[in-house]
Amino acid sequence: MSAAGGVVDEGLLRTLTPAVIGVLCRRGVDFATAEDAVQDALVSAWRSWPDDPPRDPKGWLVTAAWRRVVDQARSESSRRRREERVGVEPEAGPVTSTDDTLRLYALCAHPSLSPSSAVALTLRAVGGLTTRQIATAYLVPEATMAQRISRAKRAVRDVPLDRPGDLATVLRVLYLVFNEGHGGEVDLAAEAIRLARQVVDLTDEQEAAGLLALMLLHHARRDARRTPAGAIVPLREQDRSRWDTDLVAEGVGILQRALARDRLGEYQAQAAVAALHADARHVDETDWVQIVSWYDELVRLTDSPVVRLNRAVARAEADGPRAGLAALAALDPGLPRYRAALAHVHEKDGSTALAADLYAEAARLATDTAERDHLTRQAARLRSALSSGEREDRPRG
Amino acid sequence: MKYLILKHYRGNPAPYGDAAPMDQWSPEEVDAHIGFMDDFAKRLEGTGEWVDGQALSPEGTFVRYDGPGRPPVTDGPFAETKDLIAGWMVVDVDSYDRALELAGELSAAPGRGGEPLYEWLEVRPFLDNPTTIDE
């Protein structure tokens, strides 16, 4: 299972990482030392498993990491104290790794860490990625990422690994990882899904399931959301035959089971919106009325202005552009993507020239290259429609 | 989030205080300035915020295509008339405020007599923020 054909099962290594760190921590090793030792053990595994695959990969990793901890302890001045402590710790029996793993997630997502540090530490300590892989994914030098991770470890050095911690923080960090989903050799979106699956297995919390469903439903549509060149394809124009129906089905199933437990949360409600999009074979079959009602739930749960903005756009679809414009008029024009939303609804309302200006303005404010290009293209499309309309002396609207 | 911190030779707002060019400083003042920049970069590597940085020669040349089969047109160098970039630094930080804070520290790099330079720096966000997913 682990190294057939001389190839190390990287997924297996990564899956085992948090459990092995958990075992070491329970034997009295501090988190930073345990994490370093497991990274070293992973590197050894990469080298030796192709020629000599272990029968018990987890046991192998624990042994290798433990040896590393002991070597290090021997070489330090605090050797005696450490060895005494290690000496009195009971050897781990049969491993029930589940609790350890969840605590490890919570530690890596600790509120004392900045978002980027929490993400980096999570990817390394529970994701089992190497520093180089994480650095590549974030387009920063490896030395910078190494420092970011060691600072993060120092920041949580004195945080005991004995409480489950705040699951909401863990989910937020996983969602950050998911949204990074590009660049480097590691697909961070897939990685976030893998980690979210573990969290779902470890908890009985509906929001974890909601987040997993949300990720799966977005991931299912990923290939259709961009052209091969990376340009944004708006929902209306997406080739729905390219949506991954297996992932949609899985996401919808997970969501339905979560919703049945009747403890609604933000991720479940967002997943419900995503499920309604995924459910429509054609954009005109989209159940916008139900989407608006889910946005109402989201407004109630989060009171987020961004949610209100999305709700206004959904209202334009459900109740017509005038209803959408009225909803937008109640919002702060300084919101991210406000002008893009306004442009979209004005276009639906037939105000082509105004929409073109708003698209151009939105493009100037965009913070994302693909989004800026998309909005520029929208402005250009409307303007060329306008000028050809003028030439034919047949104004549109 | 990544930000570009740009040092300009000119093209920036009117200078504050003593703006004598570096070649009129004492060697010790130049060393102190360069040492500060190096320390700054090392410190940012330590905080996990460093991406890259480079000082640039003031000699720049504008170039453009001039039609098929023709050599490109060059303009200059006319260093005295153009906005020139003296150097740049890329940082990866958690917030815009942090980027401003770092640029502020950089602006206080020592100049003549060890006094802060009060140099104008331009901070520009990278257009590569991940798109929050919603449609």
Nearest CA in chain A to B135: A235
Across A69-74, average pLDDT: 86
The answer to whether residue B134 sits within a structural domain is: no
Give yes or no for a contact between A210 and A171, defined as CB atoms under 8 angstroms apart: no
Count of structural domains, chain B: 1
The answer to whether residue B85 sits within a structural domain is: yes
pLDDT band at A2 (very low <50, low <70, confident <90, very high): very low
Cα A13 to Cα A1: distance, rounded to the nearest angstrom: 11
Provide the CATH number for the domain around residue B55: 3.30.70.1060
Query: Which of A193-202, A249-258, A383-392, B123-132 has the least mean pLDDT?
Result: B123-132
Q: What is the mean pLDDT of chain A?
A: 89
pLDDT value of position A337: 93
Nearest CA in chain A to B130: A180
pLDDT band at A81 (very low <50, low <70, confident <90, very high): low
B94–A370: do the CB atoms touch at under 8 Å? no
Element (H, E) at B86: strand B85-92
In terms of Cα–Cα distance, which of B91, B135, B123 is closest to B1? Answer: B91
* CB neighbour burial string for A363-373, b if at least 16 within 10 angstroms, e if fewer: beebbbebbbb
Cα A283 to Cα A266: distance, rounded to the nearest angstrom: 24
pLDDT digits (tens, 9 = 90+) for A84-97: 666 555 455 444 54
The answer to whether residue B63 sits within a structural domain is: yes
User: What distance in Å separates residue A287's CA from the closest CA in chain B?
Assistant: 14
pLDDT value of position A6: 62
The answer to whether residue B49 sits within a structural domain is: yes
Number of helices (H) and strands (E) in chain B: give both, helices first.
2, 6
The answer to whether residue B135 sits within a structural domain is: no
Cβ neighbours of B19 (radius 10 Å): 13
Across A192-220, average pLDDT: 95
B interface mutation test: which of A123, A124, A131, A148 has the most B CBs within 10 A? A148
pLDDT value of position A84: 62
pLDDT digits (tens, 9 = 90+) for A221-257: 999 999 988 889 999 999 999 999 999 999 999 999 9
The answer to whether residue B32 sits within a structural domain is: yes
pLDDT digits (tens, 9 = 90+) for B48-89: 999 999 988 877 888 899 999 999 988 876 655 567 788 999
The answer to whether residue B130 sits within a structural domain is: no
Cα A212 to Cα A47: distance, rounded to the nearest angstrom: 33
Question: Looking at this predicted complex, what is its ipTM?
Answer: 0.83
The answer to whether residue B71 sits within a structural domain is: yes
Query: Given CB atoms, is B48 within the 8 Å cutoff of chain A?
Result: yes
Cα A183 to Cα B16: distance, rounded to the nearest angstrom: 42
| Domain containing residue B68 | 2-125
